[in-house]
Homo-oligomer: A and B are copies of this chain.
């Protein structure tokens, strides 16, 4: 508890939803003095009860203010904090960075003390109840540098990020918004667009659902209210990418409509190949760009079965690179898909089979 980079500093957290509460809990766990505030007194009391920090006192002098409110009220809250604490550095955690910066500049706020940031640690659940001290552990946390803030002004923000166990990544607000449009906001919409095809799907079709469509549509379950705000605040970059995607989709439809037209099959093949190329660029585990072999093992649907399997894998001495469980509709059996380095696949398969496990393809 004594290794905090923020020892002796008071940090003020404004907004005690999932992120604010988690920031408070994480800093408190390191012994940092955390002051909480929230527009809702009930929400504030709850976060204090959870141990995320203490109530504001008249003589508080926070060196760092962390604004953790919804995107559409972020800029005005940051501006208010900059005025209220003229010696403090103020950051925010909104998932868009250009809009708040522009809004603050337009309002004549003191940008020499504002450094926006964004932890990539959102979850589908919100509220103080879901807050966790370890929410940010190992996650990237973007710091959106700009020209108005001096270099040393960013130190407290980086200290907080490191205290919370996250990995600071420096980029401009525009780089950030363009990046998350691609890696988060458009994928969200793509999942939504695919999932909405299922609204009127016949029951029989739903019986044929496999892991593919489950994966493609999973994030479509997220809360529309939050996503409306996020998409609204990043609409230009999102629209640009989605427009290209829709044009490609229309091109694929054109190919499918007349596959014997000159170039149609080739266009479709090139689209599929581009998909291969794109997905291969996603960083692998620990940033390695490495592909794993899959070993698929049947597991009965009883507690302890999977633990037994993983104990055996540990005994065999093979490291699990990835793991997922798949259940077939209508079957009282599951498949454990185990990702391992290609060089150990054969040995693992043989040793598991010799211990009585049923290996699938």
Chain A residues numbered 209-248 whose CB sits less than 8 Å from any CB in chain B: 209-210, 212-221, 224, 227-228, 231-232, 235-236, 238-239, 241-246, 248
Q: Is the CB of B282 within 8 A of A191?
A: no
Complex interface: chain B residues within 8 A of A123 (CB): 294, 361
Q: Mark A296-310, 1 if CB is under 8 A from B, else 0.
A: 101001111011001
Does residue A56 face the partner (Cβ distance < 8 Å to B)? no
Partner of A190, one of B120, B216, B333: B216
**Do the beta carbons of B189 and A252 come within 8 Å of each other?**
yes
Q: Which residues 289-346 in A have Cβ within 8 Å of B in the complex?
A: 294, 296, 298, 301-304, 306-307, 310-311, 313-314, 317-320, 322-325, 327-333, 335
The answer to whether B281 and A132 have CB atoms under 8 Å apart is no
Say which residue of B121, B303, B325, B331 sits within 8 Å of A167 (CB atoms): B331
On whether A271 and B193 interact (CB within 8 A), knowing A282-B214, A360-B134, the answer reads: yes
Contact B272 A228 (CB under 8 A): yes
Taking CB atoms and an 8 Å cut-off, the chain A residues in 265-293 that contact chain B are: 265, 268-269, 271-283, 285-287
Cα separation A182 to B203 with both chains bound (whole Å): 12
Cβ contact within 8 Å between B317 and A208:
no
A347 to chain B, nearest CB (A): 14
Q: Find out whether the CB atom of A283 lies under 8 angstroms from the CB atom of B207.
A: yes
Q: Which of B178, B191, B259, B329 contacts A287 (CB 8 A)?
A: B329
User: A interface, how many residues as a size bin?
Assistant: 35 or more
Chain B residue numbers with a CB within 8 Å of A176 are 208
Tell me the bound Cα distance from A67 to B249 in angstroms. Answer: 33
Q: Which of A93-150 touch B at CB < 8 Å?
A: 120-121, 123, 125, 130-132, 134-135, 137-140, 142
A327 & B278 in contact (Cβ 8 Å cutoff): no
Please tell me if the beta carbons of A286 and B320 are within 8 angstroms of each other in the complex: no
Chain B residue at minimum C-beta to C-beta distance from A239: B256
Q: Is A359 an interface residue (CB 8 A)?
A: yes
The answer, among B179, B180, B252, B307, for a CB contact under 8 Å with A310, is B307
Q: What is the CA–CA distance of A120 and B332 in the complex, to the nearest angstrom?
A: 17
19 contacts across the A-B interface (CB closer than 8 A): A140-B330, A178-B205, A183-B206, A183-B210, A189-B252, A195-B275, A196-B271, A215-B218, A224-B273, A224-B276, A232-B265, A236-B256, A242-B249, A242-B253, A246-B250, A303-B318, A306-B320, A322-B325, A323-B325
Query: Contacts A138-B298, A179-B202, A180-B208 given; 20 further ones with Cβ under 8 A?
Result: A134-B359, A138-B328, A138-B331, A167-B329, A167-B331, A171-B204, A179-B205, A183-B205, A187-B217, A189-B252, A190-B216, A193-B245, A197-B245, A201-B278, A201-B281, A220-B276, A220-B278, A224-B272, A286-B331, A320-B325
